[in-house]
Structure 1
Amino acid sequence: MRLGVVPLSDFDPLSMMQRLHAEHPDLRFELSSLSSEQILEQLANNRIDLGVSYLERLDNERFESLPFSPTRMGLLYDQRFFFFGEQPLTWQALIELPLGMLTSGMHFRQSIDHNFHSRGLAPRPVLQTDAVHQLLQAVHGGLCCAVMPLNSGLDVLTEDLRMQPIVDAQTLVPLGLIMRRGAPRSALAEACFALYQKSTVTT
């Protein structure tokens, strides 16, 4: 089962893979971190079976999609270096903090920039990187804080990381599960699609 996921998606593929693996114990998974463009290209070329990507400008004649609920944002920080109390943070408060960000070409960064700019704010990040793990290392080391998907689970990677909600913060474009419409189409991809559809109905 070949799955491509955009960086900083709050979709957790693990639970879906666990359920599929329980039903098909011989099933093996290949998980790739790809850009939206790479996901659509590799779906079209049958190099991956499913994609988790932004649904902006999706060709609905070529691809079938299941939209996720909006991705809310929070501030990831290390409690050894920062403390914010219990109240959600405002974008105005974030501008005063040392921020680490993904580079400007990435969808998630564009949503962050939009939230700042629409309020007349201009962030000056102390760190910009195209690698999520480097951003996490910088947060864990106390160099910066970082705006991340609120329900990404990144705050449980170490005991010192925490996630603080941000007021009125969500991505510009919805994420979704994407599968090609035309043949060849993986039976496993169809089963996965149906599994997610069923889970959204029952939750």
Structure 2
Amino acid sequence: MQTRLVEYFLALEREGHFARAAASCNVSQPSLSAGIASLEEQLGKRLIRRDRKFAGLTAEGEAILPWARQLVATAEAMEQAAETARGPLRGELRLGSIPAAMPVIGSLAEAMLSRHPGLNISVRALTSRQIERDLAAFELDAGITYLDFEPPAHALSVALYAERTMLVSAAGGIPIPDPLDWADLAQLPLCLLHQGMQNRRILDSRLAERGLALRPRVTADSYIALLGLVQHGRLCSIIPDSHAALLEGLAWARMVPLPDMDEGSRVGVVVPDSAPLGPLAQAVLNVARELRLPPGFDLT
């Protein structure tokens, strides 16, 4: 069985459209269709439901999908292992990161490129659940996510730093109690990440432990959006200290630490827990173990 035929099958499942799948594989649409038909003939099963256009996978197609992903990922790792046995690591590192960890991407990317200059790095902003899903589907080589709250399953990890949270408001805007207590947060006009984001679920969990709940006026999936809302003065927000550091020196922003700052949430690099470990995953773990982040990012 040719791996290329399986790649055609996966591309069609991912794109949901014959022409787009063919374009992603750099082949003509007839070549892709013929390749998938050949794969179906080899397996003796219909894999694709067709009604003039792609209409989804058959039950047999759904059944082989995880095996197809694993086969292609294993073939790619085998090629990388052969190429790097006596030469530098090359190819594309597919990295997913939760938005809260984006400020450390530069440090990790710089360290990876310094050690492996033949690499290209593709970074995607994803939720923690998307990172876990895409690692399992072999669509990512590594991720940066939370390690303790809802930890990713079947993953190896290296902790990078402990995240803490800050309240941010516009200077001269909403009065902030001093000292700030957890109960005060429930009374403030807030804009927060939506509950599909793990940072928000961690925050909600900590409030629930204290019998409190937050009811934000506005929710978003981006810290940039939250800060844009805060800047207008009517709302305040809760952001990780990794982003708070980016606001230092800005006259409009006022930051206040939340109570119990010793409760940090560990953030780290994760890769699929597989044996043998692919060259890209191993390289990321090695660099993560030796990575020195800027001041303010620590595990204590």
Regarding TM over 0.5, the answer is yes
Once the two structures are TM-superposed, the CA of residue 68 in structure 1 deviates from its matched residue by 4.2
2:267 corresponds to = 175
Matches within 5 A, 1:101-116: 101-116=192-207
Seq. identity, %: 29
CA distance 1:125–1:193, change in 2 (3 Å): same
**Residue 58, structure 1, aligned to residue 58, structure 2:** no
State the partner residue of 1:151. Answer: 242
Is residue 3 of structure 1 aligned with residue 95 of structure 2? Answer: yes
**Gaps (5+ residues) in structure 1?**
none
Checking the alignment, whether the CA contact within 8 Å between 2:127 and 2:196 is kept in structure 1 is no
Contact persistence 1:10–1:71 (CA under 8 A) = no
* Greater helix share, structure number: 2
Cα RMSD of the aligned pairs, angstroms, is: 3.1
Distance (Å, rounded) in 2 between the aligned partners of 1:173 and 1:8: 11
Aligned counterparts of 1:44 and 1:116: Cα–Cα separation in 2: 31
Gaps of 5+ in 2: 1-92, 293-297
Rounded to whole Å, the distance in 2 between the matches of 1:144 and 1:170 is: 26
Q: Which has the larger radius of gyration?
A: 2
Aligned length: 198
Aligned to 2:231: 140
Counterpart contact for 1:10–1:150, Cα < 8 Å: no
What TM-score, normalized to structure 1?
0.79
Q: Find the residue that maps to 1:48 and give its secondary structure.
A: coil
Tell me by how many angstroms 1:26 deviates. Answer: 4.5
- Which segment drifts farther, 138-147 or 62-71? 62-71
Instruction: Give the distance between the partners of 1:97 and 1:37, measured in 2 at CA.
Output: 29
1:46 aligned onto 2:138: yes
Which one has the bigger strand percentage?
A: 1
8 Å CA contact 1:108–1:171 kept in 2: the answer is no
Partner of residue 166, structure 1? 258
CA shift for structure 1 position 178: 0.4
Query: Where does residue 191 of structure 2 map in the other structure?
Result: 100
Aligned pairs for 1:9-24 within 5 A: 9=101, 12-24=104-116
Alpha-carbon deviations, 1:55-91, whole Å to 9, x = none?
32533xx321123443211112222535659x66321
Which amino acid counterpart does residue 77 of structure 1 have in structure 2? S
For residue 152 of structure 2, what is the amino acid of its counterpart? L
Deviations 1:107-155 (A, max 9, x none): 2112222232332333332212233332121012223111111233342
Change over 3 Å in CA distance of 1:19–1:28 after alignment to 2:
same
